[in-house]
């Protein structure tokens, strides 16, 4: 169907409300109309993610209800008496979308456990298993700008659905080709039939207690937690309650919150891009730090699954740590603390993604701990955790990705900034007792394991034309034989779409034992590498770049030089 036909169908539909029709009538730009209707908002392997607004290619009550009807059909076709847990964050329309999803499920005789108020994504992951549900939904766009919202689907194990299940659900969603196929009932009827139940304090407490159980050096925390000074900002998101509650109950009384960013607000008035990867979100916290002189500053994103950290260096200057740096520190800290406590298992595993720092390999190897790599996306780490449980052959210790996501413990199957905040506080306290900052600890790691340095470059290309350019760029890199960059030979190419690892010089090929994904990775003779992939959540192509040097300056210079060449290469393909 042509986009203009879809546009007219929405204007004449008896299902679409007048407010949404008015929004469409007011659009005068034909390109804008095309962008809203040239395709349906895709239900991908992670669910929905898009700009809020009217149209088939937008996040609204109708696209959410369509996705939910498909999910309901999937559940009812495969499970008896299925139940689903639903959570939502502080974004605009999150509550409305979660209620619409709940009532569509209830209309399909699927029982729903719905949080009464906003909660972090990891608390939903916990609730799925705690309440014996078959699935879960989180309404969030994570760290995207305020214009966005999203919808993530979870399986019975509390992890985001991975490829096989996702493809079955996608097939069911795609069968919903008109609004008359979508069911709904009133909230009153759903409650009366015991199909809609609101989640209360008991589940919150169970989650908080589980998080606290992950404290490793418990005696240190009990004795010294009160001495640690922390500044925390939830960036107008869902982390405020659980993060502060966990820290308070463990005895961290010196926690200050950034007042201007404390309350939930989907417009994110103090952070246009509410992403802890962005140093700008720490501006207000750093102003507070001038007076309070904290040992550590951290920020969580709107759905509280990512965390960013700021620490002082040896000269008293505040440094925003990268996701890789925080991950290295946590990997070392957890393995070292477990070894000290004589709780480091022989079959322990650390998991990282293919775009995450290789420094983690060096650390794990030094403790004789296995390290695994998975595709980008924490759902693949969650999938591994479940596999370990089913096979009873490995013990999950820690997993992380460069994009500020971390997880210890196995009662949550997604990245968890509540758990991470607790472990970062404990780790900071440990270094403080040694007379060091976290930054000192990082330099110690670099000295011991090597100066690993990484960067991420995003190429934003909006709309239909942008999506085509991204696809063409990756295909060009896939099909061209790239033999060197800036005089350094490329020795290995990993094509995760074709699932082939290729030795560039010999042409020898091996199979990659990972799911298919439109991702390419090139490794050079000097150990540098870069990865390109389309973003699954934004109109961007991402390039991940990594080097190893002999010191801070050397690795920094190598990174800038290599990044310049990679960006030049990609821009040539995009233009």
**pLDDT tens readout for residues 491-528:** 999 999 999 999 999 999 999 999 999 999 999 999 99
Q: Are 499 and 514 in contact (CB under 8 A)?
A: yes
Name 44's bridge partners.
47
DSSP, res 295: S
pLDDT for 537 equals 66
Residue 489 CB neighbour total at 10 angstroms: 12
Shared domain check, 113 and 63: yes
Q: Are 12 and 19 in contact (CB under 8 A)?
A: no
Shared domain check, 531 and 385: no
- CA nearest to 322, candidates 258, 401, 256, 396: 401
Total count of domains within the chain: 3
429 pLDDT exceeds 80?
yes
Region label for 535, one of left (φ > 0), alpha (ψ between -120 and 50) or beta (otherwise): beta
pLDDT for 507 equals 92
Shared domain check, 305 and 212: yes
pLDDT for 467 equals 85
At residue 318, what are phi and psi to the nearest 5 degrees? Answer: -80, 135
Q: Which residue has the higher pLDDT, 47 or 503?
A: 503
Angle between helices 121-130 and 417-433 (to 10 degrees): 110
pLDDT for 486 equals 84
| Interacting residues of 456 by C-beta distance below 8 A, sequence separation 6+ | 402, 403, 542, 543, 544, 545
Tell me whether residue 16 is in a domain: no
Tell me whether residue 439 is in a domain: yes
Shared domain check, 463 and 360: no
Rounded to two decimals, the pTM is 0.95
Tell me whether residue 27 is in a domain: no
* Confidence bin at 568 (pLDDT 50/70/90): very high
pLDDT for 437 equals 95
Shared domain check, 130 and 60: yes
Q: Are 212 and 422 in contact (CB under 8 A)?
A: yes
Structural domain containing residue 174: 39-199
Q: Are 402 and 322 in contact (CB under 8 A)?
A: yes
The average pLDDT across 54-61 equals 96
Shared domain check, 362 and 235: yes
* Confidence bin at 408 (pLDDT 50/70/90): very high
Shared domain check, 515 and 386: no
Helix/strand/coil for 552: helix
pLDDT for 79 equals 97
Shared domain check, 256 and 211: yes
Least confident segment among 35-49, 194-208, 237-251, 489-503: 35-49
333 pLDDT exceeds 80?
yes
The C-alpha angle 528, 320, 555, rounded to 5 degrees, equals 25
The average pLDDT across 109-134 equals 98
412 pLDDT exceeds 70?
yes
- For a pLDDT cut of 90, what percent of the chain falls above it? 90
538 pLDDT exceeds 80?
no
- How far is 296 from 282, CA to CA, in rounded Å? 12
List active site positions.
142
Shared domain check, 298 and 188: no
Choosing from 449, 480, 503, the residue where a domain stops is 449
Per the prediction, the chain carries an average pLDDT of: 95
Tell me whether residue 7 is in a domain: no
Shared domain check, 241 and 192: no
Tell me whether residue 254 is in a domain: yes
Q: Are 222 and 429 in contact (CB under 8 A)?
A: no
The average pLDDT across 157-176 equals 93
Q: Are 504 and 494 in contact (CB under 8 A)?
A: no
Shared domain check, 178 and 90: yes
* Confidence bin at 291 (pLDDT 50/70/90): very high
H or E element: which one contains 369?
A: none
In CATH, what number is assigned to the domain containing residue 135? 3.40.120.10
pLDDT digits (tens, 9 = 90+) for 343-387: 999 999 999 999 999 999 999 999 999 999 999 999 999 999 999
Tell me whether residue 174 is in a domain: yes
The C-alpha angle 456, 462, 463, rounded to 5 degrees, equals 145
Least confident segment among 95-104, 159-168, 246-255, 327-336: 159-168
Shared domain check, 475 and 434: no
Tell me whether residue 20 is in a domain: no
Choosing from 385, 420, 449, the residue where a domain stops is 449
């Amino acid at each position: 169907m042509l986009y203009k036909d879809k546009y007219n169908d929405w204007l004449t539909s008896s299902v679409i409300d007048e407010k949404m029709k008015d929004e469409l009538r007011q659009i005068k730009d034909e390109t804008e109309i095309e962008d809203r209707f040239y395709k349906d908002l895709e239900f991908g392997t992670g669910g929905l993610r898009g700009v809020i607004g009217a149209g088939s290619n937008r996040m609204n009550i109708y696209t959410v209800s369509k996705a939910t009807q498909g999910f309901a059909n999937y559940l009812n076709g495969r499970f008896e008496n299925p139940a689903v847990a639903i959570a939502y964050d502080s974004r605009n329309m999150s509550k409305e979308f979660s209620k619409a999803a709940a009532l569509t499920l209830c209309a399909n005789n699927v029982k729903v456990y719905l949080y009464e108020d906003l909660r972090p994504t990891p608390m939903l992951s916990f609730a799925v298993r705690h309440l014996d549900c078959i699935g879960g939904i989180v309404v969030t766009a994570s760290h995207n700008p305020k214009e966005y919202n999203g919808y993530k689907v979870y399986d019975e194990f509390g992890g985001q659905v991975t490829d096989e299940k996702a493809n079955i659900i996608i097939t069911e969603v795609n069968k919903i080709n008109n609004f008359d196929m979508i069911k709904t009932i009133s909230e009153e009827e759903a409650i009366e039939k015991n199909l809609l139940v609101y989640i209360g304090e008991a589940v919150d407490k169970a989650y908080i207690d589980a998080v606290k159980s992950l404290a490793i050096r418990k005696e240190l925390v009990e004795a010294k937690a009160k001495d640690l000074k922390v500044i925390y900002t939830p960036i107008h998101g869902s982390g405020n309650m659980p993060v502060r509650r966990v820290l308070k109950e463990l005895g961290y009384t010196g926690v200050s919150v950034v007042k201007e960013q404390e309350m939930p607000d989907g417009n994110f008035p103090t952070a246009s891009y509410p992403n802890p990867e962005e140093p700008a979100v720490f501006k207000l916290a750093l102003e507070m730090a001038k007076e309070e002189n904290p040992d550590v500053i951290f920020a969580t994103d709107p759905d509280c699954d990512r965390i960013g950290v700021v620490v002082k260096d040896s000269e008293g200057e505040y440094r925003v740590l990268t996701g890789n740096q925080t991950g290295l520190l946590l990997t070392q800290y957890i393995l070292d603390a477990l070894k000290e406590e004589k709780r480091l298992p022989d079959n322990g595993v650390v998991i990282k993604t293919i775009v995450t720092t290789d420094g983690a390999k060096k650390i794990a190897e030094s403790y004789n701990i296995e390290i695994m790599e998975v595709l980008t996306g924490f759902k693949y780490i969650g999938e591994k955790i479940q596999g370990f449980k089913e096979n009873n052959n490995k013990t999950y210790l820690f997993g992380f990705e460069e994009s500020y996501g971390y997880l210890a413990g196995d009662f949550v199957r997604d990245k968890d900034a509540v758990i991470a905040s607790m472990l970062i506080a404990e780790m900071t306290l440990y270094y403080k007792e040694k007379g060091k900052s976290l930054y000192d600890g990082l330099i110690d790691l670099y000295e011991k394991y090597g100066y690993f340095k990484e960067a991420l470059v995003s190429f934003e290309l909006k709309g239909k034309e942008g999506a085509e350019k991204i696809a063409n760029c990756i295909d060009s890199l896939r099909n061209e034989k790239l033999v060197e960059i800036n005089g350094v030979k490329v020795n290995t190419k990993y094509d995760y779409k074709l699932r082939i690892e290729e030795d560039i010089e010999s042409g020898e090929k091996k199979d990659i034992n990972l799911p298919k994904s439109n991702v390419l990775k090139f490794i050079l003779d000097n150990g540098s590498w870069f990865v390109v992939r389309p973003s699954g959540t934004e109109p961007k192509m991402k390039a991940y770049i990594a080097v190893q040097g002999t010191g801070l300056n050397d690795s920094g210079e190598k990174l800038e030089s290599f990044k310049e060449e990679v960006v030049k290469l990609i821009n040539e393909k995009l233009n």
